[in-house]
Amino acid sequence: MAEPLFPHGGVAFIGAGPGDPDLLTVKAARLIGQADLVLYAGSLVSPAVVALARADARVVDSAPLSLAETHALLVATARQGGLAARVHTGDPSLFGALSEQARLLDADGIPYTVVPGVTSAAAAAAAFGVSVTEPEATQTLILTRLAGRTPMPPGESLASLAGHGASLAVYLAAGNPEGLAEALRQGGLAGETPVAVAHRLGWPGEKRFWATIDTLVQTVRAAAIDRQTLFLVLPGLGRGVPSHLYDPSFGHGFRPAREDG
């Protein structure tokens, strides 16, 4: 049996991915199964992930709790010598309030670790079988969100980011598809720009479909989707040129260039 992660108690922030328990890392699944407390956001984390908890573990939905209340649960478990698994949807470092939780643990001297998870941007690209980077078309992916009740910092409006012409993974925007489409247009993206829409990836009844910026509002409203939706905006899709990496005339440290290329 592996040595306990924290012999005297601690907290593991765990990325649960978008929903499919098969997309958990081996480490994440192991720690959820070892934890004395599994504290998860019931509105976001799939029940299939929580089901990996021990039969005798304490399992608590954090959705109705405040930050102070979730922190108290983590500290109590750790100070009793136990392992608390704080399970976040996707990756804890992305829109996961990780920093504020970690600061409180630091102040109380509670050790913790962070286990990364598969974010919806990566899961959506895989589900649609697309690349978010295309040689000489776009080599950048921007992960961002639409401004809502929480404003965006100066210089990070979706319109300004769309102006780069890079691929965009837009979170937290399904409730306002009109605002999303308008911001993308303001950024100069063409109406025919393809958008991959993924709703509740990895959950039973997941929805996946293609739209364009011009058809985005109608498509989202017709599908009746809101929360837990990821938009991949792909201005470079299908516009790239073949990669140099496998061109026989393109030499590198592991293969000399060939004249017949």
Query: What are the tens digits of pLDDT across the range 152-207?
Result: 999 999 999 999 999 999 999 999 999 999 999 999 999 999 999 999 998 999 99
How high is the pLDDT of residue 247? 63
**Are 80 and 127 in the same domain?**
no
Average pLDDT, the chain: 92
**Are 171 and 229 in the same domain?**
yes
pTM greater than 0.85? yes
Q: What is the CATH number of the domain that holds 15?
A: 3.40.1010.10
What proportion of the chain, given as a percentage, has pLDDT over 70?
91
Q: How many domains does the chain have?
A: 2
43 pLDDT band, cuts 50/70/90, is: confident
Q: What is the CATH number of the domain that holds 199?
A: 3.30.950.10
Does 253 reside within a domain? no
Residue 198's beta-bridge partner residues?
Answer: 208, 230
Does 152 reside within a domain? yes
Q: By residue range, what is the domain housing residue 84? A: 10-115
How high is the pLDDT of residue 40? 96
**Are 128 and 224 in the same domain?**
yes
The CA distances from residue 200 to 20, 31, 44, 152, 224, in Å, are 10, 24, 9, 24, 13
Q: Mind listing the pLDDT tens digit for each residue in 131-148? A: 999 988 899 999 999 988
Window from 3-7, 117-121, 203-207 with minimum mean pLDDT: 3-7
**Are 107 and 146 in the same domain?**
no
User: Among the three residues 50, 81, 115, which one is the final residue of a domain in this structure?
Assistant: 115
**Are 22 and 71 in the same domain?**
yes
Does 242 reside within a domain? no
User: Among the three residues 89, 115, 141, which one is the final residue of a domain in this structure?
Assistant: 115
Does 245 reside within a domain? no
Does 16 reside within a domain? yes
**Are 126 and 218 in the same domain?**
yes
Is the pLDDT at 253 greater than 70, yes or no?
no
The answer to whether 53 touches 32, Cβ cutoff 8 Å, is yes
Q: Mind listing the pLDDT tens digit for each residue in 88-117? A: 999 999 988 999 999 999 999 999 999 999
**Are 90 and 15 in the same domain?**
yes
Does 255 reside within a domain? no
27 alpha carbon, distance to own chain's centre: 18
Is the pLDDT at 45 greater than 80, yes or no?
yes
Does 81 reside within a domain? yes
User: Among the three residues 93, 115, 137, which one is the final residue of a domain in this structure?
Assistant: 115
1 pLDDT band, cuts 50/70/90, is: very low
How high is the pLDDT of residue 250? 62
- Cα torsion through 186, 188, 190, 194, rounded to 10: -80
**Are 63 and 35 in the same domain?**
yes
**Are 111 and 23 in the same domain?**
yes
- 226 phi and psi, to 5 degrees? -140, -85
Does 204 reside within a domain? yes
- Report the 10 Å Cβ neighbour count for 27: 15
- H/E element, 83: strand 83-88
DSSP 3-state assignment of 115?
strand
